[in-house]
Structure 1
Amino acid sequence: MRILYITPDSTNSGGIARVLSLKLNYLTVTLGYQIEVITVCKTAKKPFYPFNKAIKFHHLGSGKSIITFPSHFLNYCNKTIAAFQPDLVVVCDAALSSIIPYFIKTRAPILFETHVSTSLKQVTKQNLFDKIRFRAVFFTKKIAFAKYSKIIFETTAGRDEWQLSNAVVIPNPLAFISSNLAPLNQKKVIAVSRHSYEKGIDRLLYIWQKIIQTHPDWTLEIYGEWDSDLKYQKLAAELKIETNCNFFAPNSAIQKCYEEASIMLLTSRSEAFGMVLIEAMQCGLPCVAYDCPCGPRDIITNGTNGFLIENDKEKEFVSKVNQLIDNQSLRKKLGKQAKDDSKKYEISTIMKQWVQLFENQIKGLED
């Protein structure tokens, strides 16, 4: 099978690039698919996550002006399609996704997989103009999405935001299988997130300030891409928690970091999925997360494999973290169940769903 992917960037350390690497490597190595990828990132940039050498990349770059880029982008896509003759085209949160199904020249089914929640967009739009613009973009995209053969969402809540008849849900796969169960005996809490507003690291730091008032011997480790002005490091200093809070760059060996921690925290304002949750659960960590739209509620069963906290209820969040810190047997009980529950995200299980979808689309069948 020949599949062309269209995506903004495959080189960064974010969740989209991570999932793309996992899926494309599986399709290429395990199933022998021919995969080509169009991106707008620069050729010289080395990808953070590994991609099999059999995968062919077309790095378009983004040097064109905002006026000339759309036609340049679409012409490039159509030339690549004419040369490659894919059986399927998969658009992955690409630029111009609202016009791609109208101007791409192919008889192959065109699928769209989204890794962004509409709620995520809303929390990053603060003024009236941006809110109006968001609603206009949402309306335009909803019309365009109906033109795709299928829209693939990561969660049921994400699917329900759009209410599309051509929508299906396929969650993200695990990046690794851990043969170990974290001992949960280290006085260490972990969070994995880039430093952007919707990820809520500011909320995490205020929570941690309250945690260490009663547990000054515990440490918080935060892994993720830093923002340019280091505002969260500065906030940690202002809150006087810098000795109990360490910031680290993205780590390609993040599995070991999970296994050395005892609790995982997620304080996002919005999550399309929450891949870091299933990774932590695979290592046997109990997770405490805000019930933000949309991802955590699909992953965490409150009180069974972790704690799901009503959004913005900081006092309750602090209480549950303190409860886990004070009770190692509870940590182990929830952590064991978390590991068991994470098995449904193993890549072989998830990729069966993708393969079935691909085959049905080529055959013209409904799912």
Structure 2
Amino acid sequence: MEILAYGVQADERPLLEQAFTGRHELRCLSVFLNRDTAPLAAGYPGVSSSVNDVLDAGTLTLLAAGGTKLIAQRSTGFNNIDLEAAAELGLTVARVSYYSPYAVAEHAWALALAVNRRLTRAALRCREFDFRLDGLLGRDVHGMTVGVIGTGKIGECFARIAHGFSTELLGWDIAENPACRELGMTYTELPDLLARADLISLHVPLLPATHHLIDAAALARMKDDAILVNSSRGGLVDTAALVETLRAGRLSGVGLDVYEEETGVFFYDRSVEGISDDTLARLVTFPHVLVTSHQAYFTRTAVGQIIDATARNIEDFSAGRTNENTLVPRT
């Protein structure tokens, strides 16, 4: 089956090509899928999309008109795809329902530790041979109260690492995870978790019910010296409210791997022309804020699993089968 893959990163491309050799004909593009680039897929029965592609009704209409039958997304999240429009157009949609949760949990902890110990500021100073310790005072993670919002596979991995630091664990989710209970986690209501936790990490999907879960009211409940980490979905945090909270001198550290308006910014080089997003521009100026460009999943292990699952999704579609990754079945 001929597949056109959009939004392929340089480090991802050889892994994709190796996995697809002898299985499917593959063409990789670094450009992202949207209404402007959808016509490139004309004649390709299958398209593989990335998490920051824009698969709205307009894009999907163009793909269907060009003969595309399958959208194989290389991510767990699929909020960028209009599933209702896909179904109406007769497009099959599949995602990757599982890949290494350790990749994301470990990156979340990397963010937490970096902002807590002011590693970005320290590294920049040392490059200029400034070895002062002014402004670099951190805290022991040992003994902290850590709040885990969302205790699925990734949240559980994050909690296991927290347990290794000998922290007090608080959890919030619609369903309790027995494995987290065994770690000593106490499940509580969200307002209580926000008020008690020294470190809060987000691991819930982006749904209408979780959009801006961390809004101005939630931020106001947090301790003045709390640390907030988001490696899940940008829309969980009201970024404008977060900026105002930081401007008020609250929160001792923020680590973000995602941003609610990241499409068209993350995965691009904007170092020459800059960005027009005033909120993001303001956010990155705070010395105790660390932003990375949606790379928590980006390990060799996780990317390999994503690619293998994508190839299997394509093979199952070709054989007329559905699997646990199918979002919109073949009609």
TM above 0.5:
no
TM-score range, shorter chain: 0.3 to 0.5
TM-score (norm 1): 0.33
Structure of higher RCO (CA pairs closer than 8 Å, 6+ residues apart): 2
Whichever structure has more helix as a proportion of its residues is 1
Q: State the TM-score, normalizing by the size of structure 2.
A: 0.36
